[in-house]
Structure 1
Amino acid sequence: MRKIVLQMMTTPNGRLDDPLAWMGTVVEDQYRAIDRLYAGYDTVLVGRTTYEEMVGYWPGALDDQENGETNRVMARRMRDYRKIVFSRTPTEAISPWHNVERAVLEDDAALSRYLIDLKARPGGDIHLSGGVSLAQSVVGLGLVDRYHFFVYPVFSPGEPWFARLGQTEALRLTGSESYDNGVVGLHYETVSDGTPARPTTFSELIA
């Protein structure tokens, strides 16, 4: 079965929204690591507002010589991926782009059914992109299989990732690395054997 993968920049306190308020540069070794992860995807899940930001940048980046080959490779990936734009308002138009489609879903129950069906179909892994509402909804539904966080060394107030999580979710660390700009990459997969048991005393935590 295909995996839904949340891959995002964030802060140590888990900020999700308004990246221009806290996000620093993306250095080359970090960008190459991001691109290696993107090579495993063939589908992107994105909200309408974030999609419009994507289509405003990536088509022009295909021939941009200033930002380097890694950025042009990413631009080609963004062009070729199947892009599913989620909305709850069918009358809102989206800008045209290659290989894009809309999914108008009225509530989280419909979103859950849609994504479970999508995961069961053939294909590569599925990248869960922004915006805030879509990412939080999918996380809260327990449908994310892997997490790739690129954690910037700054605390910043704002919308956190896991505000809509219904219960504790156990993760297994699968890898980590640091980059020249001080960013740390943390890579997790969900643990399939359920929610960890809550300890009854502090001594159980250090046993």
Structure 2
Amino acid sequence: MRKVTAALFSSIDGVVENPGEWQFDHFDEDMGAAMEAALSTQDTVLLGRVTYQQWADYWPGNTSDDFGGFINPVRKFVASRTLSDEDLQWNNSRLMDGELEDFVRRLKELDGGDIAVNGSISVVRRLLFAGLLESLTLMIHPVVVGTGRRLFEPGDPLTRLRLADSQITASGNALLTYGLRT
């Protein structure tokens, strides 16, 4: 069965929103190698509406780096209640059929590589709390952002995780990969 993974850039104070505003001065070769290794197993990407719209405006015209070479041709499924198929102009993009959790359960049954959630904080949260996310990597940067959306919120259900892997990069990023503790 296919594995569903997610990786998010995070500040030390837990902000995961708009990492492009604060993470690039700590993006180093170690982090790039870890991300490249993860991308090599993925053939499907899940995106929420907000991430899709932001990325569809940027990535189709940017193929100069490894991520652009990955994200543009890869198969992308978008979770949205407001977009239509006609709104999805980015190569290999289509809307998810039905509820997110049901769609992901069906997708996991199909042949293929890993399924990655990129960005998309709400999608990561829903899949984690539904027990459908096998791997969550937090790439914690040594920066305090102060304001912005965090992955976890007051009132979230108690969810126990196990540390599956850890790495400290040359510029001080902590790459922590968790799985659900069963």
Q: Bin the TM-score by the shorter chain.
A: 0.7 to 0.9
| Gapped regions of structure 2 (runs ≥ 5) | none
* Distance in 2 between residues matched to 1:165 and 1:104, nearest whole Å: 29
- What does the per-residue CA deviation read over 1:5-63, in whole Å, with 9 as the maximum and x for residues that have no partner? 1111012332222224432432233112111111111111001221122222323322x
Do residues 80 (structure 1) and 73 (structure 2) align? yes
Detail structure 1 runs of 4+ shifted over 6 Å in the superposition: none
Q: Please state whether the residue corresponding to 1:84 is helix, strand or coil.
A: strand
Q: Note the aligned Cα RMSD (angstroms).
A: 2.3
Distance 1:165 1:87 in 2: 24
Q: Which has the larger radius of gyration?
A: 1
**TM-score by structure 1 length?**
0.76
Aligned-partner Cα distance in 2 for 1:164–1:126: 28
- Aligned-partner SS, 1:80: coil
Q: Provide closer, same or farther for how the CA distance between residues 164 and 77 of structure 1 changes in structure 2, counting only shifts above 3 A.
A: farther
SS of residue paired to 1:113: helix
Distance in 2 separating the partners of 1:120 and 1:29: 33
Alignment of 1:59-138 (within 5 A): 59-62=60-63, 64=64, 71=65, 73-91=66-84, 93-103=86-96, 105=98, 110-138=99-127
Quick one: structure 1 residues 76 and 18, their matched pair in 2 at CA, closer, same or farther if it must change by over 3 Å? closer
Unmatched segments (≥5 aa) in structure 1: 65-70, 194-207
Which segment drifts farther, 129-138 or 147-156? 129-138
The corresponding residue for 2:159 is: 169
Partners of 1:90 and 1:56 in 2: CA distance: 15
- Quick one: distance in 1 between partners of 2:139 and 2:124? 16
What is the number of equivalent residue pairs in this alignment? 180
Match of 2:18 in 1: 18
Matched residue, 1:40: 41
- Please state how far the C-alpha of 1:153 moved relative to its aligned partner: 1.0
Which structure has more RCO (C-alpha within 8 Å, separation ≥ 6)?
Answer: 2
